[in-house]
Amino acid sequence: MASPAPAPVFDTDFYPQTGTAVAVQPGLVRITAPNASAYTFTGTNSFLVGHEKVAIIDPGPEDASHLEALRRAIGGREVASIILTHTHRDHSALARTAAAAFDAPLWFGGPHRLARPLQRWERNPIHRSGDWGLRPDRTLHDGEAIIAGDMEITVHATPGHCANHLAFGWDDMLLSGDHVMGWNSTLVSVPDGSMADYFASLDKVIALPNRRYHPAHGGPIGDGPAHARALKAHRERRNAQILQAVEHGARSIGAVVKSIYPAQSLPVRMAARMTIAAHLEYLGALGLLRLRRSPFGMRIGR
C-alpha cells in the first residue's frame, strides 16, 4: 500500500529585503513590494526577467516607492513588456502606471473574469480584489513560447486561484504566481476561482519538468513538484474532513468551518470560509454532497 502523501511544510522565515533588487539567478531578479498583510505574507514579489532587455512580471500594488524600486533595479535597460500572472490587484494595480512609465505593453491571460457565472443568491466575496477594467495589449495562451525581455519562457495556464492565472517556466524554473506558494496554501474563493480547476492545475505543474518554483509571495521552493503534491494531498484531506463534518451534522458553511477550525482567529476563519465554500462546490459537483442556496446561505446535505 502506498504511503500517504506528507503534509506540506510551510516556510514562514522568508526575509523579503523589501524594495531591494535581489539577484535570484542570471536573468532573474526579485523586488518585493511593501504590501505585507495576512493575505500577501511579506508582500508581492515582482520579478525582472532578462539581461540587456527585461520584462516585469507582476508589477504589484499601486505604490510610488515600489515603482521607484523597480526603476532602480531596471537601471535604464529597455522594458520590453509588463506581464501578469493574474489580475488580482496586489499583482496588477501598478500595471497601468508602469506601462506608461516604461513605455511597455501589457501581456496577460485576458481580462479578469469569474471561473463560472454568479448563481442566484450568490455574491463574489473578493470582487474588490479583481482588476476588472484592465485589458491586455497581448493575450497570452497556454503552451505558447514568448520572449520576456531577451529570454524565451513558456506560458502555462494554471486557473484555480483565479480564472486567468498563468505560470511561466524556463530551464528548471517556474514562476508559480499564487498557484503554488511556500508560505501557505492558496486561497480559492468561488466564483472568482475554482477548486476543480485548482486541482487540475496542480496536476499540470507537477507533470512539468520545472523543479525550482519562485512564487509571487514568500520565498523560493526548492522542490516545487513535491510541494505541489503535498498541497494536493492537503486539499484532499480537507475534502475528507468536510465530508466527515457533514456526516456528523454540519449543515452550513459556518458549521463546517467551526468543526475544522475550532480555535483559529477571525481572519483565518474568514479566509477558511471562502476556501471551504470552494471545497463544498467541488464535492457537490462530484455528487458527494447536495447543496442548496437560499437568501440565508447555503444548506448542505448528503
22-234 folds as Metallo-beta-lactamase; Chain A (3.60.15)
Per the document, the length of the chain is 302
Contact, 75 vs 48, CB < 8 A?
Answer: no
- Rounded Cα gap, residues 176 and 179, in angstroms: 6
Positions of CATH 3.60.15.10 in the chain: 22-234
- Within 91-211, strands assigned E span 106-108, 138-139, 145-148, 151-157, 166-170, 173-177
Contact, 182 vs 174, CB < 8 A?
Answer: no
The dihedrals phi and psi of 275, each to the nearest 5 degrees, come to -70, -35
- Rounded Cα gap, residues 4 and 158, in angstroms: 25
Q: Which residue pairs, CB below 8 angstroms and at least 24 apart, start in 268-273? A: 271/38, 271/39, 271/187
Reported as half-sphere exposure (CB side, CA atoms, 13 A), residue 21 has a value of 18
Positions of CATH 1.10.10 in the chain: 235-301
Residue with cell 446535505: 301
Neighbours of 233 (CB within 10 A): 16
- Rounded Cα gap, residues 302 and 295, in angstroms: 21
pLDDT at 2: 52
235-301 folds as Arc Repressor Mutant, subunit A (1.10.10)
Which amino acid, one-letter code, is at 102? F
pLDDT in tens, the chain (302 residues): 455 678 899 999 999 999 999 999 999 999 999 999 989 999 999 999 999 999 999 999 999 999 999 999 999 999 999 999 999 999 999 999 999 999 999 999 999 999 999 999 899 999 999 999 999 999 999 999 999 999 999 999 999 999 999 999 999 999 999 999 999 999 999 999 999 999 999 999 999 999 999 999 999 999 999 999 999 999 999 999 999 999 999 999 999 999 998 877 777 778 889 999 999 999 999 999 999 988 888 899 88
